[in-house]
Structure 1
Amino acid sequence: MAGVPKPIVGLKVEYTKLFINNEYVDSVSGKTFPTIDPSNEQKLADIQEADKEDVEKAVAAAKMAFKRNSAWRRMDTTQRGALLFKLADLMERDRTILATLETMDTGKPFLQAYYEDLEGTIGHCRFFAGLADKINGDTIPLDGSDLFCYTRREPVGIVGAISPWNFPIHLAICKIAPAVAAGCVVILKPAEQTPLTAVYLGHLIKEAGFPAGVVGILPGYGPTAGAALVNHKDVNKITFTGSTEVGQLILQGAATSNLKRVTLELGGKSPNIIFPDADLDYAVRKSHDAVMYNMGQVCCAGSRTYVHEAIYDEFLKKSVELASKKSVGDPFNASNENGPQIDGEQMQKILELIESGKREGAKLLCGGERIGDKGFFIRPTVFADVKNSMRIAKEEIFGPVQSILKFKTLDEVVELANDTHYGLAAAVFTKDINTAISVSNSLEAGTVWVNCYNEFKAQAPFGGYKMSGQGREFGINGLDQFLETKTVFVKLGQPSAE
């Protein structure tokens, strides 16, 4: 296809070390871990493995960078934004390299990595760059008082950012950019499954001109490097995207260490509701994409599809047709829509949940099996006759599995949709604006899409209700997560002892 970007064939992994104080360094222990191509199970590189001692070094560098009279703290806010704009430009320059590395490490289709993931990454970086010099406080009128009162918005301090493996570079920047814009310093711990693009970012950060210590990057494991960040008494804030179970551990560690601030974007089991007046073909396609996109490895995937009984059978038929035609294979082949799951452990978890669906009485209409014996590929799967009590309707599968449930009335489906401890996202498909608004207002979810799905914009906050997390990322709300509010009272006039 003319004009379509091409991946870099045979790209060598150049950066494999920790990034501390603007330099690539070996881990203190000298230990490494392999990162694996999930499409062929071959090792891509050995990565230096950060541990507690490396976290100590990175925190010490961050503390120096955040000292009151440091170059970073004295830097004009517009200049902070200029650094982020420069970083965005460098990611744009190296976009093909980053997309190739992302596909090698995650198995996601190259064109998705290039057009969608990198587009969103660069856009988020520029959005927060533009906010860096727009952080304002308030003046507060105190009628009849001789006090002048105002507020300041100040950076929270040292931020530990722990990012996931499903959108590695995008969610790394979604944490780094607002923290930097707010004036914080950041230590990023990328997911051990997908460190390549995060580690590559280090040399772009240095090239952009960030002062030493402002951004550190520590590839490693959650129970070691991640836990050391969470429990470190000099780290003031943790921002984490991942599972609800790990989020609970982070909250415990943050509470017992120093009551550090925490933002959590956690699991989901998002309901997607199709009313009988919806455009059927459009709703089928969007519902398919809602759960099959990125091989189903999306925290807000529409993995519970509720379809009105009047259109249920036709919806099933069309959904199976779509899933059965979906091309799965080599993510560097532009004709393939899906690549592999991230690793063998995740693949086995998905297959076990598929088996549970069959055991509990759901009807498997297509898929439900591994493709081949090399790489972690799963055939797109559709279940019918699913009940809310089944595991496939309750647990986050994080795979290409669509569970389709039947409903009769609006009140019934709202109750079913809210019958979960998750609350990240939801969707409604209908031509009736009253139904759309009524249901949207009734759903317990941080984001509700009407006649669309997986729409994300840098300007719009994202986060969950209930056990899907706390706090918000993206938008001005995302910047607020990295700021403290200080109130200042000034006594006017000549102070008197009276």
Structure 2
Amino acid sequence: MTTETGPRFDYAPAPESRDIARLRPSYQIFVDGAFRDGAGEAVKTIDPADEQPLAEVAEAGPSDVDDAVRAARRAYDGPWSAMSGAERGKYLFRIARAIQERGRELAVLESLDNGKPIRESRDVDIPSAAAHFFYYAGWADKLGYAGLGPAPRPLGVAGQVIPWNFPLLMAAWKIAPALAAGNTVVLKPAETTPLTALVLAEIVAEADLPPGVVNVLAGGPAIGQAIVEHDDVDKIAFTGSTEVGKIIQRTIAGTGKKVTLELGGKAANIVFDDAPIDQAVEGIVNGIFFNQGQVCCAGSRLLVQESVADEVVAALKRRLTTLRVGHPLDKNTDVGAINSAAQLARIRALTDAGEDEGATRWSPPCELPERGYWFAPTVFTDVSQAHRIAQEEIFGPVLSVLTFRTPDEAIAKANNTPYGLSAGVWTEKGSRILAMAGRLRAGVVWANTFNRFDPTAPFGGYKESGFGREGGRQGLEAYLDV
């Protein structure tokens, strides 16, 4: 096939078998080392690609939260705190190896439950989850050498609430450092994506961790609230929306609980006139269309130096015509399904607002499936700082393009947002990268790349993007009394 941009080759479908996920008809909560039915109502988790139910999930009730916290406290006061760091590390190594061994199963299950392309869950999410357990397993017997004081101590019971955009990876980000530091855990996965967290509970059980060290409670916001409010929880770790993060802060104020919050973002991806255009375009695409833009650190604002803006936008549009939107289990898919009907409605509302406020909207031609939650990759030009799409987190495959003339103007526009989670800088000058990074109010600044993570590197934000760090040595500090 030939198009205006040159030859284009169609790909035959290359679906991964959903049977690999080993889906069961129903899943239970995990408390005190055993699976059991929850006190809440059982709900069905939905495949966002076709709106069909995947499995029935038993949700927890308030009594289950009490049981899980008590179990976590017994484990903390008993075998877990008495165990040496080297012994704790062995359990983390077991979990990491089991994630690797079941990696293909977990990848398919993640794509079914979340909607993300199998290439991303297979090549990014699952390997990164295993890597975090491997990394923190190595820290478990070295806490006194982490530069956090001569005798850092665990906090106790950690209540952890994770989002739906990276379900297993976020569980690993939370659980691995908590266990390495000697804490016990009560984890609540998102209500739309509980399955891989519950399979992780199976892995925990098979690894023979002492009962109560890790507890997994499926459920809605009320269960997360009950964990946050529980008097016997010593630490709260939350990843999610800024609005909920503010509620958590108000709830625990004055309680003495330690907290880390990783919240929303509106990252600026800044392209200077000396940047390699083709490389920058690939980084722009990865920055905003990875996981359908459902990433807190997504590069949702593209700031391009005025002299190359037309060239960059034209190259970006050409590149978007090659993206394949389709079923998450197809190995050729670049952009999968939006996670839920509610999230799709929010994306549509904000993109409609962008048009109403005068921005120019463009999407590549693509056929969206009739069933499921789908949204075409979208680029807005003629965007001003006052537009809602330039200020509010859309959490979808939507990019707003703004221009700048000088580095000072780029800094002013990049920092003109309530958020401060991440940013990107594209230029051939190392001195300019360092100068920009020092002035950008963002927890992470990528140089000539975007959305690259490593377990050894801390991640977190400023302003309404939260506080505290996850990953690296700093991620241990969040779970230690130093």
TM-score higher than 0.5 here?
A: yes
Partner residue of 1:121 out of 123, 129, 152: 129
Summarize deviations over 1:291-335 as a string: whole Å, max 9, x none: 010100000000010001111111111111222321111111111
Summarize the alignment of residues 103-252 of structure 1 with structure 2, pairs less than 5 Å apart: 103-136=111-144, 151-222=150-221, 224-252=222-250
Q: Is the 8 A contact 2:21 2:105 kept in 1?
A: no
Q: Matches of 1:230 and 1:292 in 2, distance apart?
A: 33
Note the C-alpha offset of 1:9.
5.1
Note the C-alpha offset of 1:65.
0.8
Q: Could you tell me which residue of structure 1 aligns to residue 61 of structure 2?
A: 51
Q: Matches of 1:236 and 1:10 in 2, distance apart?
A: 35
Q: Could you tell me which residue of structure 2 aligns to residue 494 of structure 1?
A: none
Q: Is the 8 A contact 2:25 2:55 kept in 1?
A: no
Summarize deviations over 1:237-281 as a string: whole Å, max 9, x none: 00010010010111111125x231100000000001000000011
When residues 372 and 110 of structure 1 are mapped into structure 2, their CA distance, relative to the original with a 3 A threshold, is closer
Q: Secondary structure at the match of 1:329?
A: coil
Q: Is the 8 A contact 1:370 1:376 kept in 2?
A: no
Partner residue of 2:347 out of 328, 350, 353: 350
Q: Secondary structure at the match of 1:378?
A: coil
Summarize the alignment of residues 270-281 of structure 1 with structure 2, pairs less than 5 Å apart: 270-281=267-278
When residues 424 and 481 of structure 1 are mapped into structure 2, their CA distance, relative to the original with a 3 A threshold, is same
Q: Is the 8 A contact 2:156 2:233 kept in 1?
A: yes
Q: Is the 8 A contact 1:8 1:96 kept in 2?
A: no
Q: Could you tell me which residue of structure 1 aligns to residue 382 of structure 2?
A: 385
Identity of aligned residues (%): 41
Query: What TM-score, normalized to structure 1?
Result: 0.91
Q: Matches of 2:110 and 2:469 in 1, distance apart?
A: 25
Q: Matches of 1:338 and 1:310 in 2, distance apart?
A: 30
When residues 368 and 448 of structure 1 are mapped into structure 2, their CA distance, relative to the original with a 3 A threshold, is farther
- The amino acid that maps onto 1:270 is A
Q: Is the 8 A contact 2:21 2:109 kept in 1?
A: no
Q: Could you tell me which residue of structure 2 aligns to residue 482 of structure 1?
A: 479
Summarize the alignment of residues 283-294 of structure 1 with structure 2, pairs less than 5 Å apart: 283-294=280-291
Q: Matches of 1:47 and 1:273 in 2, distance apart?
A: 43
Range with bigger deviation, 317-326 or 48-57 = 317-326
Q: Matches of 1:162 and 1:368 in 2, distance apart?
A: 38
Note the C-alpha offset of 1:111.
2.0
Unaligned runs of 5+ in 2: 1-11
Unaligned runs of 5+ in 1: 141-149, 486-498
Q: Secondary structure at the match of 1:448?
A: strand
Matched, 1:470 2:467: yes
Q: Matches of 1:125 and 1:355 in 2, distance apart?
A: 42
Q: Secondary structure at the match of 2:424?
A: strand
- The amino acid that maps onto 1:88 is A
Q: Is the 8 A contact 2:16 2:331 kept in 1?
A: no
Q: Matches of 1:158 and 1:11 in 2, distance apart?
A: 32
- The amino acid that maps onto 2:132 is H
Q: Could you tell me which residue of structure 2 aligns to residue 254 of structure 1?
A: 252
Partner residue of 2:73 out of 63, 67, 70: 63
Q: Secondary structure at the match of 2:418?
A: coil
Note the C-alpha offset of 1:12.
2.3
When residues 300 and 368 of structure 1 are mapped into structure 2, their CA distance, relative to the original with a 3 A threshold, is farther
Summarize deviations over 1:25-56 as a string: whole Å, max 9, x none: 11124x11111000000011111111211100
Q: Matches of 2:24 and 2:335 in 1, distance apart?
A: 24
When residues 9 and 98 of structure 1 are mapped into structure 2, their CA distance, relative to the original with a 3 A threshold, is closer
Query: What TM-score, normalized to structure 2?
Result: 0.94
Q: Is the 8 A contact 1:323 1:382 kept in 2?
A: no
When residues 138 and 286 of structure 1 are mapped into structure 2, their CA distance, relative to the original with a 3 A threshold, is closer
Q: Could you tell me which residue of structure 1 aligns to residue 3 of structure 2?
A: none
Summarize the alignment of residues 26-105 of structure 1 with structure 2, pairs less than 5 Å apart: 26-29=37-40, 31-67=41-77, 70-105=78-113
- The amino acid that maps onto 2:193 is T
When residues 9 and 208 of structure 1 are mapped into structure 2, their CA distance, relative to the original with a 3 A threshold, is closer
Q: Matches of 1:7 and 1:476 in 2, distance apart?
A: 37
Q: Matches of 1:9 and 1:270 in 2, distance apart?
A: 36
Q: Could you tell me which residue of structure 2 aligns to residue 495 of structure 1?
A: none
Q: Matches of 2:113 and 2:69 in 1, distance apart?
A: 27
Summarize deviations over 1:366-414 as a string: whole Å, max 9, x none: 2599934311111100111111110110000110011111111111110
Summarize deviations over 1:66-115 as a string: whole Å, max 9, x none: 12xx1212111101000000011111111111111101100111121111
When residues 14 and 33 of structure 1 are mapped into structure 2, their CA distance, relative to the original with a 3 A threshold, is closer
Matched, 1:22 2:21: no
Note the C-alpha offset of 1:455.
1.1
Larger Rg belongs to: 1
When residues 403 and 368 of structure 1 are mapped into structure 2, their CA distance, relative to the original with a 3 A threshold, is farther
Summarize the alignment of residues 325-474 of structure 1 with structure 2, pairs less than 5 Å apart: 325-366=322-363, 371-474=368-471
Summarize deviations over 1:330-349 as a string: whole Å, max 9, x none: 11111111110001111111
Q: Matches of 1:270 and 1:85 in 2, distance apart?
A: 34
Note the C-alpha offset of 1:152.
1.9
Q: Secondary structure at the match of 1:325?
A: coil
Summarize deviations over 1:107-145 as a string: whole Å, max 9, x none: 1111211111011000011000000000117999xxxxx
Q: Is the 8 A contact 1:279 1:430 kept in 2?
A: yes
Q: Matches of 1:153 and 1:445 in 2, distance apart?
A: 28
Q: Matches of 1:390 and 1:103 in 2, distance apart?
A: 33
Q: Matches of 2:366 and 2:15 in 1, distance apart?
A: 32
